[in-house]
Amino acid sequence: MRRRTLYRNGHVYVPTRGFPTAMLVDDTRVLWVGGEADADGQVDEADRVVDLHGCLVTTPFVDPIHFVAESAEWRSLTQLTGARSLTDALDRLAAAARTSQGPVTGFGYDEGRWPEQRPPAPEELARAVEGRPAVILRADKGACVCSPAFTAGAAQVGVDTRGLADMTRRPGLGALLTAIVAQRTPAQQQAILDGALSAAAAHGIGCLHDHISSPRLLDGFTTTRPQLPGPVVQRYLRHVCRPDEDPAVLLREHDLHGFMLQVDGPVNSHQAALHETYIDLPGQVGPDPMPAETIAEHLVAASLAGIRTSLVAMGDRAADAMIDGMRTAVRTVGLDRFRSLRHRTMTLALADPRVLGTLIDLGVVVVRVPQVDSRWGGPEGDFTRALGTVRAREMMRFGSLGVDGLLSALASTSPWLDLDPWQTLRSARWHRFEEERVSVGEAFHAHTVGGWHASGHDTRGYLGVGLPADFVVWEVPPGELGEGPHSQLETPGLPRLRPEAPTPRALLTVVGGRTIHESEGALP
């Protein structure tokens, strides 16, 4: 028999229903939503009544570009950012070795700030961790130090640690991650992954799309374990389909939902493919992007098999290759079939009318990352240094590109940017250029309804009778939740997200009636 729970005396965000304060759910669906005056009539229908004490209830967030293995690794790192000396850094690593299993990993050392003016030697690192495999990454990701045991273990999976000296390129980081994972037992790696999924649930994320950079990261563990409570996980493997292979076989073998194509790389490491030169690297326009012919070939094979693709094309030259490949593929696949699959892209070339128009015409979901502006925008930011003021600003356009027909979702790209969805919304609400700002409600819709649409679900992302019991109970800082907007960009029923205020804290996250996160003692 299904248990029914009545949540009351709160703020239930249902944009079409005014300001409900109560909600009745069972183990799978929402049964009733209404005001406090009518909640008394639902008490007899409930097995349990929860007083929300003014908390906010919303639908969960969806993170459509998330790197679970990398996020898990980030959470397990020993932080060396605050280390005062070489000795202090080695002491921190020694302490981590005593309380952990598998390779010891660290991040954030900066030998220029230490009195010794040098990083540890591999042998010193080995002594600190008592011979265990260990690797530490410098704060700027420009160098790493590996213990002899780690170097030997990496060699067994074909990773030469001598080739990791230039860590500014993402492939170098991918090789390092592969070497780390290969030196853990499946149980150790699974525990770290479970911790990353728990962290997502604790941030009110009910669904995420795990972008997997290497097939090696699929070995021995999974992010989809039905027996454990956690977010809904859709897995996308970085893979280029060829005409002579059956994509469906790979999909079934690894429990995938789709593929990822990396057309080019990040702007701030000069890996984005541009038409014009980087300002800080005169004459350099970045590596060539994936050819349009290769993109088209992949999209034909995947689309005919009914499989979705997530494409990353950051630079304008890469975006041109991407849309040329898409248009070529559509001629074989057919427009209706192509649109029905909800392929998606993350690109910074939306200011180009040809790119934007193509994505709208083909029904491609555009995944946007507002934190790019708050983290790397501005006069002193990485993008301005690399591209100059005018081109950087074009890449940062956001609200001014919210045209009719554009299918949008918001993402964190964790761990490269902050996991917190409210921080993503705040970055959209407080974009550094006023004309690019959007309301909290618009951003929330893109990070929930838009994300579920990208996931292939059109009935999720809402709180309503008969819909899945997907919801989050939030503790909102005092003064952050009001019934009337203080400005045009605030949305009644949602947090104001002022820059100086803490973001809301998830007390309870429920997906499909199943609790995936609960703060101990927060709700009776």
Confidence band of 370 (pLDDT split at 50, 70, 90): very high
What per-residue confidence (pLDDT) applies to 309? 98
CATH of 5-59+462-518, one of 3.30.70.20, 2.30.40.10, 2.30.110.10, 3.40.30.10: 2.30.40.10
pLDDT per position as a tens digit, 76-132: 899 998 899 999 999 999 999 999 889 999 998 989 889 999 999 999 999 999 999
Confidence band of 170 (pLDDT split at 50, 70, 90): very low
pLDDT per position as a tens digit, 172-203: 677 788 889 889 888 888 888 888 999 999 99
Close Cβ partners of 331 (under 8 Å, ≥ 6 residues apart): none
DSSP class of residue 116 equals T
Instruction: Tell me what the mean pLDDT of segment 226-255 comes to.
Output: 88
Instruction: Tell me what the mean pLDDT of segment 140-168 comes to.
Output: 78
Percent of all residues in the chain with a pLDDT value above 70, rounded to a whole number = 94
Decide: 11 and 53 in contact? Cβ < 8 Å. Answer: no
Q: How far is residue 164's CA from residue 63's CA, in Å, rounded to a whole number?
A: 30
Residues counted in the chain: 524
β partners of residue 495: 481
Q: How far is residue 23's CA from residue 467's CA, in Å, rounded to a whole number?
A: 12
Confidence band of 229 (pLDDT split at 50, 70, 90): confident
Decide: 511 and 228 in contact? Cβ < 8 Å. Answer: no
Scan for tokens 């970055």, then name that residue.
427
Decide: 183 and 147 in contact? Cβ < 8 Å. Answer: no
Decide: 421 and 313 in contact? Cβ < 8 Å. Answer: no
For the chain, how are helix, strand and coil distributed in percent, rounded to 5? 40, 20, 45
Confidence band of 228 (pLDDT split at 50, 70, 90): low
- Strand 78-79 to 61-66 pairing: unpaired
pTM of the model: 0.90
> What letters, b where the CB count within 10 A reaches 16 and e where it falls short, cover 467-495?
ebbbbbbbbbeeebbeeebeeebbbbbbb
CATH of 69-184, one of 3.10.310.70, 3.20.20.70, 3.40.50.1980, 3.40.309.10: 3.10.310.70
What per-residue confidence (pLDDT) applies to 295? 98
Q: What is the DSSP string of 165-178?
A: S-TTSHHHHHHHHH
Q: How far is residue 244's CA from residue 345's CA, in Å, rounded to a whole number?
A: 25
Q: What are the boundaries of each domain within the chain?
A: 5-59+462-518, 69-184, 239-454
Decide: 396 and 437 in contact? Cβ < 8 Å. Answer: no
What per-residue confidence (pLDDT) applies to 403? 76
Q: How far is residue 207's CA from residue 257's CA, in Å, rounded to a whole number?
A: 13
What per-residue confidence (pLDDT) applies to 171? 40
What per-residue confidence (pLDDT) applies to 177? 83
Q: Is the domain defined by 239-454 classed in CATH 3.20.20.140?
A: yes
pLDDT per position as a tens digit, 445-494: 999 999 999 999 998 999 999 999 999 999 999 999 976 656 788 999 99
Asked, colleague to colleague, whether 5-59+462-518 and 69-184 share their fold, the answer is no
> What letters, b where the CB count within 10 A reaches 16 and e where it falls short, cover 154-183?
beeeebebeebeebebbebbbbbbbbbbbb
β partners of residue 202: none
Instruction: Tell me what the mean pLDDT of segment 412-420 comes to.
Output: 92
Q: What is the mean pLDDT of the chain?
A: 91
Q: How far is residue 265's CA from residue 170's CA, in Å, rounded to a whole number?
A: 8
3-state secondary structure of 62: strand
Close Cβ partners of 222 (under 8 Å, ≥ 6 residues apart): 190, 193, 255
